[in-house]
Amino acid sequence: MFLVMLAPALVLVLVMLMDYRNISVLGQSAEQILSKNYKSINAALQIRRSLEKNQTRLLYQFFQTQIQTPPSAPLSFLQDADIEQILGICRENITEPGEEAIIKDLYKILETYRIKWKGIANRDAEIHGLGSQIYAFIATTDRFNDKLNDLILLNEQAMEKAETQTRLIADQTIRYSITLLIIAISFTFLLSYLLSGRISRPLTILADTMATVKEGSGRYPRININTNDEIGFLAQQFNRLFERLELFDHRSAEQFIQVQSKADQAEVAKASFIADLSHQLKTPMTSIAMSIGLLFEKGDALTEVKQKKLIETAMEECLRLTALINELVDIAKLESMVRPLKKEVLAIDRVVTETLQPLMHQAEEKGVQIKIHIENTISRVAIDSLRFPWVLTNLVGNAIRYTDKGGLVEIRIKKEGHRCHFQCMDTGSGIDPEFLPKIFDRYSQFSEREKSGTIGLGLAIVKEIIEQHGGDITVKSRVCKGTEFEFWIPIGDIRRE
C-alpha cells in the first residue's frame, strides 16, 4: 500500500522538477537572445549618432567656408575609428538569419564612406567643386543609415518573436503542469477509493465474523482467506486463535468437571491467593534488587543523595514486604484456628489503649490525630484476646495510612443493648463506590491497596474475626471525604470476673 501511494507523490515531484527545468531553460534562453539583440540595436544606434555628428560637422564647415573669404582652414578629417569598433560589436552578436549579410554590407559602405570623406578632406582650401562630393558623401551616409535601420528592425523583430515564443512556451508549460497535476490528483482519488474498498471489505467481513463468536460456545467460525497481504495474515491468525479457543474450551470443560469433583472452595481460594501473592511480591523484590545492585556495583560513583535515595527505596519496599508477610502470617493463623479460642472478659478501654499504643507514634510522625471516645456505660467485654485486637489494629492502621497530614482518626465505642458498638472514622481519601461491595472479599484488589503493598486480606480477616465473635461490620465512604467502619459484637457473659 505504501508503494502504491508513493506513485502519485513521485508524479507530483516529477512535475515540479520538469517545471523547474523548463522555466530555468526558458529564462536562460530568452535572456541570452534578448541580451545579444539589445547589444546589436544599441551598437547600431551609436553608429547612427556618429554618422549624424560627422554629417553635421561637415555641413557646418562647408557653409562656414562659403561665408569667409578666403577660407579660414581646410576641412579636417573626421575620426571614424569608433564606428568600426562599434560595428565589431554587431559582428560579435549575430543571432538572426540575414544579420551577417547586413553587417558585411555595412563594412563595405564604411569603406566607401571613408573614401568619400578623404576625397573631401584632400581638396585643402579649394571649395569649388565640393558640392557634388558632399552630396555623394551624404548619400553614402543615408545608405549607411538605411542598413543600420535594417539591422535594428531585424533585431527588434527577433525580440518580438522571442517574446511571443517565450509566452507560448510558458503557457504551454502551465497547461502541461496543470494537466499532470489533475491527472495525479484524479489518480490519487481513484487509488484511494480502490484501496479503501480493498481494505474495508475484508475487515468488514472479519468484523462480522468476529461478532458471531460466543464465549465458551465450543464452536468457532473459520474465516476465508482470499489475499496474501496483512489482512490475510490477520485472518489466518484469527483462525489459529479460534482453533486454540475451541481446543481450550473442550479442555476447560473437562478440567472444570475434574476440579469441581476433586477441589472445594478453599482450594480455589488458595490458588487465587498464590497468584495474587506472586504479583504483589514481584514489584518490591525487583525494586530492592535494583537498588541494592546499583549500590553494590556503582556505590562509590554515586552521590550521597543518590545513595540515600536508593536506601530509602529499598527500605520502603522492605516495609511493603513486611506488610505482606504479616498478612500471610495472620491468614495462616486464621485458617489454622478452626474453632475460636476461648473468650476472655477484658476491660475494653485497656484493650483499646494497649492495642493502639504502637499506632500512636506512627500517627504522630505522619501528623494525624487520633481521638478515642469510650462511654462509661460499657467497661468489660467478652472477646478473643489474641485475634480481636488485630481488628482494631487493622482498621486504625488503614485509617492512618490513607489519611493525609493534619487529618483525624476517631474511634467511638458505646453500648447498644447487649451489643458493644464500635465506630472507626477518618478524614482520609475515601474509597471509590465501585470497590465498596467487594471490600471484605478475600484477595480483592483496588488502587489504594496496591499502592500500600497489601494483598487484600486485612479486611477479609477483620470480617471473619467479627463474625466469629457473633457480630457484623459495615462500611460507608465518600471519595476525598473519609471512611467510616461500623461493627458490633455481643458483650457476652461478663459475670465472670
Give the residue among 104, 83, 211, 99 at the shortest CA–CA distance from 156. Answer: 99
Confidence of residue 125 (pLDDT cuts 50, 70, 90): very low
Nearest C-alpha neighbor of 460 from the set 478, 479, 438, 475: 438
Domains, the chain = 2-185 (1.20.120), 231-335 (1.10.287.130), 343-490 (3.30.565.10)
Higher pLDDT: 456 or 111? It is 111
pLDDT over threshold 60, residue 345: yes
pLDDT tens figures, 221-277: 777 767 677 777 777 777 787 777 777 777 777 777 776 766 565 566 566 666 666
pLDDT higher than 60, residue 134: yes
Q: Residue 1: pLDDT above 70?
A: no
pLDDT tens string 397-414? 889 989 999 999 999 999
Q: ∠ at Cα 187 (184, 191), nearest 5°?
A: 140
pLDDT digits (tens, 9 = 90+) for 180-197: 778 877 877 787 777 777
Q: What percent of the chain has pLDDT over 70?
A: 73
70 has a pLDDT exceeding 50? no
- What is the pTM for the complete model shown? 0.41
Distance CA 4, CA 49 (A): 68
> Sorting pLDDT into bands at 50, 70 and 90, what band is 150?
confident
Q: Which residues contact 121 (CB under 8 A, 6 or more apart)?
A: 74, 75, 76, 77
Q: What pLDDT, on a 0 to 100 scale, did the predictor assign at position 426? A: 96
For the beta carbon of residue 482, count every other beta carbon within 10 angstroms. 22
For 202-219, b/e burial (b = at least 16 CB within 10 A) is beeeeeebeeeeeeeeee
What is the residue-averaged pLDDT of the chain? 77
What distance in Å separates the CA atoms of residue 50 and residue 68, rounded to the nearest whole number? 27
> What does the pLDDT look like over 12-34, one tens digit per residue?
677 677 766 666 666 655 555 56
Q: What is the pLDDT of residue 485?
A: 96
Is the per-residue pLDDT at 294 higher than 70? yes
